[in-house]
Chain A
């Protein structure tokens, strides 16, 4: 059978970076083909070339056995190729329908095309169980649903070959499973799927074949059935990797963070955090599990002093902070020993246009050790940044480089280094390993455990159930703004998954209006 896709000697440079080097790849029709590799290995670049978003410097692409010239995405779409990008290509201010319609309008005016698209969305929902409200505005949707819109876009255009670039980075296990079931249906319908992911478990679970990339090269292709996670990890990183976190039982001491009856209202006036109470002790990691968009982000932000709480109070290291009354002041929280690794490093945790060393003091710019009076002591800051770079193995080790030029994993390490090295009493951590490759994940997890063992209290928010289960000592599950249950870390995935879906004590709790 002719392969769906064949790539021959693809090369791509970005300036001095050789992102793809003589890549050969054969993708069987009607298969799910996984691609793994570290951050910056060149996976996204390769897929973007296939999708006509970038142009290869040299090489050949064959689609269904025929040489294809993919000059732009339009050509790719015409060849039946569809792509869900790692960074969503959605217009946030548009409705779902408008997003789906974009580029598939059928005619100069929107009326008819919109009706057809609506009907088509209903059909796809029926066929694949992909429900979204066509009139919802995309920026109001949780990320999981946003991704669903991306998939719908691809399906609506009748793609035969689907490329998904790190689709599960933002999904809950349940959502991910749902996605994989859809991919399997698609495969069974004869479509071809290219799946990029950092999660080897997923590779093992759904793919038929897997290719490994390292530093711009294609280093191996295996039938999934004939390989192991350990082998893949080693192929990716070039050394053997520990896939499990080693930790000893926690030894919790005094309460360092107490949250009491906290209620947070968002700009639309909806209560997004409802009457939440819990505490974190020194020397333990408390995990908050939940499907994204259930108030975890707002909870973290309220504790960190970034978002105003409507009701409730917080004690940090025994001292009360009346966060509903005092003006918001994240700086004050930091002075009290509460540090915060935000969920979204691009939006909040970093100024990507700054040099690395400048980001090393974000939030601590007023600390006395970084200067005298109103002035900053650049040398002191750089020294500290260099020390962190060394300690956290941030690559490239150049503190004057723009932060945007670091890969996601290294950017995450910059944020972690900054917050952990402040030696906080309480550390809030949101999504510490989102989009980060396994080598870096291993490192980050080890650091968090070390902190715990040094007697810090850590509040960890993650949508990765795996991460929560392997790091946390206690697990709180959030659903629709409330904490719906507390479980020990050993609790099974199934039980936590049910809680996350709002099912507990045998009843289903519907979302509040």
Chain B
């Protein structure tokens, strides 16, 4: 799609804004339907997510999760693979984090544990992506099916491990013991002197996520491997022609994808919960699909989309806290509408704007 016909600020500024406005307009109608004031609701949503330090902190905390899972989907996407397995890969990634933290937290400070945990998370997530990747590469088994299946298998594995192997004795909760200081990432609030994120769990993993985003950008557009990945995704026959091994590239791309998804667990497990617990991924992997696609598989877009979703999560929580009539389901509806209007219907206003701008630029050029 050539963007040439509209000024850049329209393409990258006005159109997304219009789309978001449409999403909120329709959401407003739903809010109106259940008898609340849409304006007030938007106010609370925005204020709740951006209006004060702690709100921002929560927004960024959620955004961290989405950056990881969004990047995971995007890397696979560039290789022409649709990895729906982020959910399972992140879940298993938690194992890597937990093993590192449980082993080290009482012995060494967090900054020693952290690299081990990051490696553990990435390795575990990558390992979970490996089988689908290998099957796709060698047997042509469709990665969409296998990653869906591996999400379910991950859930079973984790319940087994958490209930029977890793649970702290005597606890009702299928969860490990809580990590000591050596297994906890510092909160950004404590790290940055000027920050005022209050008690929000936004932590060092955010920095890690941003580094990951930058690394993905470099990987995809500035390395030979990224070139191979994109070539394979865009034209598999050309990739073969260019001496790029499809099998190898598929596996590598999926390993990176799985590793990124696995790293989401750093934020949740080492950064916030400080223990491995059941179902901690709670849908972040799936939202990653929407984030990646809305961000057009570009790291910058993903970071922005992740922040938008972080806002919806945090602002939505504030909203349902303030307005009990607006339940958490309402927030899901709003998310759906945002994905619909800002994602799937992103071209809706385009033709109109093109007409307006062409007209404005050349009022004499009569057409038809």
Q: Do chains A and B touch in the complex (CB under 8 A)?
A: yes
Q: Which residues of A does B touch, CB under 8 Å? A: 15-16, 57-58, 304-306, 329-332, 334, 340, 342, 347-354, 358, 361-363, 365-366, 370-371, 374-376, 378, 405
Contact of B242 among A16, A58, A365 (CB under 8 A): A365
- A330 and B368 contacting across the interface, CB-CB below 8 Å: no
- A330 and B237 contacting across the interface, CB-CB below 8 Å: no
A374/B225 contact (C-beta < 8 A), A351-B231, A354-B234 known: yes
- B222 and A351 contacting across the interface, CB-CB below 8 Å: no
- A374 and B223 contacting across the interface, CB-CB below 8 Å: yes
A358/B243 contact (C-beta < 8 A), A351-B235, A375-B222 known: no
Asked if B4 is an interface residue, CB under 8 A from chain A, the answer is yes
- B241 and A340 contacting across the interface, CB-CB below 8 Å: yes
A365/B241 contact (C-beta < 8 A), A57-B367, A351-B234, A351-B235 known: no
A348/B241 contact (C-beta < 8 A), A15-B4, A15-B5, A365-B228 known: yes
User: Would you list which residues of chain B between 232 and 277 have a CB under 8 Å from chain A?
Assistant: 234-235, 237-238, 240-244
In the bound complex, CA of A513 to CA of B83 (Å): 44
Residues of A close to B184: CB separation below 8 A: none
- A58 and B231 contacting across the interface, CB-CB below 8 Å: no
- A16 and B222 contacting across the interface, CB-CB below 8 Å: no
Closest chain B residue, CB of each to CB of A366: B224
Asked if B364 is an interface residue, CB under 8 A from chain A, the answer is no
Residues of B close to A405: CB separation below 8 A: 2
Q: Which residues of B does A touch, CB under 8 Å? A: 2, 4-5, 218, 222-228, 230-231, 234-235, 237-238, 240-244, 367-368
- B224 and A371 contacting across the interface, CB-CB below 8 Å: yes
Chain A interface main SS type: loop
- A349 and B238 contacting across the interface, CB-CB below 8 Å: yes
Contact of B243 among A329, A349, A351 (CB under 8 A): A329
Nearest CB of A to B354, in Å? 9
Contact of A57 among B222, B223, B241, B368 (CB under 8 A): B368
Contact of B237 among A348, A365, A370, A374 (CB under 8 A): A348
- A342 and B242 contacting across the interface, CB-CB below 8 Å: no
Contact of B223 among A304, A353, A362, A376 (CB under 8 A): A376
- A330 and B367 contacting across the interface, CB-CB below 8 Å: no
- A348 and B238 contacting across the interface, CB-CB below 8 Å: yes
Residues of B close to A349: CB separation below 8 A: 238, 241
Other 9 A-B pairs with CB < 8 A, given A348-B238, A352-B235, A378-B222: A15-B2, A16-B4, A330-B242, A348-B240, A348-B241, A351-B230, A362-B241, A365-B227, A376-B226
In the bound complex, CA of A432 to CA of B227 (Å): 26
Residues of A close to B231: CB separation below 8 A: 351, 354, 362, 365
Nearest CB of B to A364, in Å? 8
What are the 3 tightest A-B residue pairs by CB atom distance, in nearest-first order? A331-B243, A330-B243, A363-B242
Give 10 CB contacts A-B under 8 Å. Answer: A15-B2, A16-B5, A305-B243, A306-B240, A352-B235, A353-B235, A354-B234, A363-B242, A371-B223, A374-B225
Residues of A close to B235: CB separation below 8 A: 347-348, 350-353
- A376 and B222 contacting across the interface, CB-CB below 8 Å: yes
- A306 and B241 contacting across the interface, CB-CB below 8 Å: yes
In the bound complex, CA of A375 to CA of B4 (Å): 30
Nearest CB of A to B145, in Å? 22
- A330 and B4 contacting across the interface, CB-CB below 8 Å: no
A330/B224 contact (C-beta < 8 A), A351-B234, A354-B234 known: no
In the bound complex, CA of A354 to CA of B78 (Å): 12
Nearest CB of B to A461, in Å? 15
In the bound complex, CA of A334 to CA of B240 (Å): 13
In the bound complex, CA of A414 to CA of B228 (Å): 19
- B241 and A363 contacting across the interface, CB-CB below 8 Å: yes
Nearest CB of B to A223, in Å? 35
In the bound complex, CA of A320 to CA of B311 (Å): 63
Contact of A362 among B2, B218, B242 (CB under 8 A): B242
In the bound complex, CA of A354 to CA of B235 (Å): 10
Nearest CB of A to B78, in Å? 11
Nearest CB of A to B148, in Å? 26
A358/B227 contact (C-beta < 8 A), A57-B367, A334-B243, A375-B222 known: yes
A350/B227 contact (C-beta < 8 A), A15-B2, A16-B4 known: no
Residues of B close to A330: CB separation below 8 A: 240-243
